[in-house]
């Protein structure tokens, strides 16, 4: 499998998941709204922690994926929250929820865990220089499972990102993003990763590698599932990257 083959299969499943999520968009939004039915029983226990909302959002997203029988779930303890096998790949999908108070953690890059991707690379500074000593990011996932064997299958990583209002938990934006497989480091080099808040952490710079660059028409690695056009103007300005993609998908 060459690098173009890798991008073809990444794009194939990105499109499948995008159309699936658009197909179940009504059910997804209804699911997010179910918390309102019992709001009086949980509101005083909620203290605006990202992890609190993430638990509920994950419950809805993963129920939709699992309920539709997409692939065979895998029991490996090393992997993203949603990890399953299909005919030609092993697929990891992780959910990232960010509240508007931290919108800067959403617009250009997102945190990725070592169990969620296969992209080994040097992490460089924002000015393009290397850290001293060099900072090499080593993920836990392989680029291929059973590499070199007859049953070899590629490892694919996707992220569903959700931005929501801190106070009322209203959803403003939902996206699905394909992170390059580690074999593509030969092409994308250090552009995929940037430094995290801690030395051993990394963030996925999806705006720097927002297209499948090896494919002829260079389709986007970012698909916008939902965009609230009635959001506050300051939020909308900061989310212009996603709005522009959303408008193109609507055309």
Could you read off the pLDDT of 7-58 as tens digits, one per residue? 999 999 999 999 999 999 999 989 888 887 887 777 777 665 545 667 788 8
DSSP state of 104: G
pLDDT in tens, 147-199: 999 999 999 999 999 999 877 788 999 999 999 999 999 999 999 999 988 88
pLDDT of residue 47: 62
pLDDT in tens, 222-236: 999 999 999 999 999
Residue with tokens 């070199």: 148
pLDDT of residue 56: 81
pLDDT of residue 44: 74
Cβ–Cβ < 8 Å for 84, 70? yes
- Residue 246 in tokens: 């959303």
The pTM is what?
Answer: 0.94
50-67 helix and 25-33 helix, angle to the nearest 10 degrees: 140
pLDDT of residue 206: 98
pLDDT in tens, 122-151: 999 989 899 999 999 999 999 999 999 999
Is it true that domain 3-250 has CATH number 3.40.50.2300?
Answer: no
Domain regions of the chain by residue span: 3-250
pLDDT of residue 57: 83
């Amino acid at each position: 499998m060459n690098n173009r083959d890798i991008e073809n299969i990444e794009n194939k499943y990105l499109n499948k998941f995008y159309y699936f999520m658009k197909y179940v968009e009504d059910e997804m939004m209804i699911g997010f709204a179910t918390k309102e039915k019992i709001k009086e029983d949980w509101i005083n226990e909620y203290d605006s922690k990202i992890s609190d909302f993430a638990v509920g959002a994950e419950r809805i997203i993963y129920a939709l994926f699992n309920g539709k029988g997409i692939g065979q779930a895998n029991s490996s303890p090393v992997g993203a929250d949603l990890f399953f096998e299909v005919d030609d790949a092993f697929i990891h999908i992780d959910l990232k929820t960010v509240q508007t108070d931290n919108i800067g953690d959403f617009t250009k890059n997102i945190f990725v865990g070592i169990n969620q991707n296969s992209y080994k690379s040097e992490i460089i500074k924002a000015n393009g220089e290397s850290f001293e000593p060099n900072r090499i990011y080593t993920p836990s996932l392989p680029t291929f499972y059973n590499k070199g064997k007859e049953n070899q299958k590629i490892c694919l990583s996707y992220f569903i990102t959700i931005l929501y209002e801190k106070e009322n938990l209203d959803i403003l934006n939902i996206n699905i993003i394909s992170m390059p497989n580690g074999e593509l480091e030969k092409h994308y080099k250090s552009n995929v990763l940037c430094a995290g808040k801690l030395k051993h952490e990394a963030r996925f710079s999806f705006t720097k590698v927002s297209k499948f660059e090896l494919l002829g028409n260079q389709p986007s690695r970012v698909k916008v599932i939902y965009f609230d056009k009635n959001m506050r103007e300051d939020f909308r300005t900061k989310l212009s990257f996603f709005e522009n993609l959303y408008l193109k998908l609507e055309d």
